[in-house]
A and B are shown apart, each in its own frame.
Chain A
Amino acid sequence: MRAVTALGKAYWRAALAGTAMLAAGTSTALAEGGLPQLKTEDFSPQLFWLVVTFLLLFWVMSKIALPRIGEVIEERKDRIQRDLAAAERLKGETEKALSAYEKALSDARGNASSIARQTRDTLNAEVDKERKAVEDQLAKKLADAEASIGATKDKALASVKDIAGDTVTAIVGALSNVSATKDEIDRALAASGGNK
């Protein structure tokens, strides 16, 4: 409790001290001729140095510092613009290359299928030709065989006629003792066997 009242008292004193200080400060300032800010004899040195420093600073800023900063910022903007443009161009080129590649791919596919078709066609044609040649040969051989069979048959048939004639001559000679000439027998055979 004592401490609290001591603290309260201290604050009361401090507030008083502060007010007194403000009052004292202001009063001393006034006693010396007002606020330090209102001492007119200090105006001219302040104005002089303000003008000098402001003009110098303005010169440094407008002639050196700001153009440099502006340049760097401008340069960066340009650079970014350029890089963006380059990226855009490269992107376009990539797309072009990609489409060219795709076109080449589809062309190659087309070529491949046409080559395959051609090959198939030529192969088919060759096979057909071969087959035709073989078939022709076979047909020829068949025809030859048929012809030789025909000839053999004819020969055999002719031999049969001769044998029949001889047999007939022999039989006729044995039976009737008439010797028939070959011509007569042939005619007779032709007459009998012609309808056979």
Chain B
Amino acid sequence: MAETTEVAGHAAEAHGPMHQFEIKRLVPLEFMGYDITFTNASLMMILALVFISLFLYFAMSRRALVPGRIQSTAEMLYEYVADMVRGSVGKEGMKYFPWIFTIFIFILTLNMFGMVPGSFTVTSHIIVTFALAAMVWITVTLIGFAKHGLGYLKLFIPSGVPWWLMPVIVPIEIISYLIRPISHSVRLFANMMAGHTMLKVFAGFVVGLGSLGGIASLGGIAPIAFLIAFTGLEFLVAFLQALIFTVLTCIYLNDALHMHH
């Protein structure tokens, strides 16, 4: 028993599963009294910005009629998001295509960068995902009111519902609208955090079992196999959560533009 606690204590000291989510302050900065320190999160965001810009720049630098590999990838991303917008919002939604594309590519890149061992997952922080979700919520709400005026409030009155159900339905609709940014942001944040924590815990098992010595060290093989499979799954989740965040943005935008209720 003493051995166990020793292993656990050692692991937690340097590599606790929550350790990877720590914000590291790299360059302390201050702007008009606000703390704008350059952190590891800032670094990852800047890297994502640079990577996406350079990738798309080099992908399209040849402007080939018959695209090469990276140009095909860039065009595929473009068509993928464009089809998504056209499909769920319609032609009108293409006005907001650059915004939705930016959301998708930014979250996707941050999620994928988070899969690099030793890096930092920006989207595993609720404040970041909440800020993104709040931006979406405020934007579509403004679009809704700009387009329909006060008529946008009819969104809370579903058609085909008997009048006596209204006192129940309308508050539910209002609440579900108000908690959109929370569900929108927690989904992404929780998925990224849970996946990375799981990976870390199982990596800890591998180290723990491996350091037992003798035949028992072989016990570390099973968690390694699981770790490999789970890493593949995490890549899928990283893509899927970026997609889901974007699809939900499209759905909210569609509500604001067309009020299909």
At the interface, yes or no: A101 with Cβ under 8 Å from chain B? no
Residues of B within 8 A of A61 (CB): 52, 56, 98, 101-102, 105
Q: Size band of the A side of the interface?
A: 35 or more
In this complex, the member of A6, A18, A73 whose beta carbon has the largest number of chain B beta carbons within 10 angstroms is A18
Residues of A within 8 A of B247 (CB): none
Complex interface: stretch among A38-46, A109-117, A143-151, A164-172: A38-46
Contact B208 A35 (CB under 8 A): no
At the interface, yes or no: A3 with Cβ under 8 Å from chain B? yes
At the interface, yes or no: A79 with Cβ under 8 Å from chain B? yes
Contact A46 B98 (CB under 8 A): no
Q: Could you tell me the distance in whole angstroms from the C-beta of A118 to the nearest C-beta in chain B?
A: 61
Contact A48 B36 (CB under 8 A): yes
Residues of B within 8 A of A45 (CB): 23, 25, 29, 35-39, 41-42
At the interface, yes or no: A60 with Cβ under 8 Å from chain B? yes
Contact A49 B63 (CB under 8 A): no
Which of B17, B39, B49 makes the CB contact (< 8 A) with A22?
B17
Residues of A within 8 A of B60 (CB): 65, 68-69, 72
At the interface, yes or no: B126 with Cβ under 8 Å from chain A? yes
Contact A72 B63 (CB under 8 A): yes
Residues of B within 8 A of A72 (CB): 60, 63-65, 67, 71, 75
Complex interface: stretch among A51-59, A91-99, A122-130, A182-190: A51-59
Q: Could you tell me the distance in whole angstroms from the C-beta of A5 to the nearest C-beta in chain B?
A: 10
At the interface, yes or no: A10 with Cβ under 8 Å from chain B? yes
One digit per residue, 1 when the CB lies within 8 angstroms of any chain B CB and 0 when it does not, for chain A 49-85 equals 1110110111011101110111111011001000000
A70→B79 CA distance, assembly (Å): 9
Contact A66 B98 (CB under 8 A): yes
Question: Given that A10-B212, A18-B201, A43-B127 are contacting pairs, would A66 and B46 also be in contact in the complex, using a CB cutoff of 8 Å?
Answer: no
Contact A29 B127 (CB under 8 A): no
At the interface, yes or no: B166 with Cβ under 8 Å from chain A? no
Question: Given that A20-B4, A53-B49 are contacting pairs, would A42 and B75 also be in contact in the complex, using a CB cutoff of 8 Å?
Answer: no
In this complex, the member of B135, B189, B209, B214 whose beta carbon has the largest number of chain A beta carbons within 10 angstroms is B209
Which 6 A-B pairs have CB atoms at the shortest separation, nearest pair first?
A25-B16, A24-B12, A20-B8, A62-B98, A10-B216, A49-B42
Please list the residues of chain A having a beta carbon within 8 angstroms of any beta carbon in chain B: 3, 6-7, 9-11, 13-14, 16-18, 20-22, 24-26, 28-29, 35-39, 41-51, 53-54, 56-58, 60-62, 64-66, 68-73, 75-76, 79
Other contacts beyond A42-B127, A44-B35, A58-B102: 10, CB < 8 A: A10-B216, A10-B219, A24-B12, A28-B16, A45-B29, A46-B125, A46-B128, A47-B127, A50-B131, A64-B57
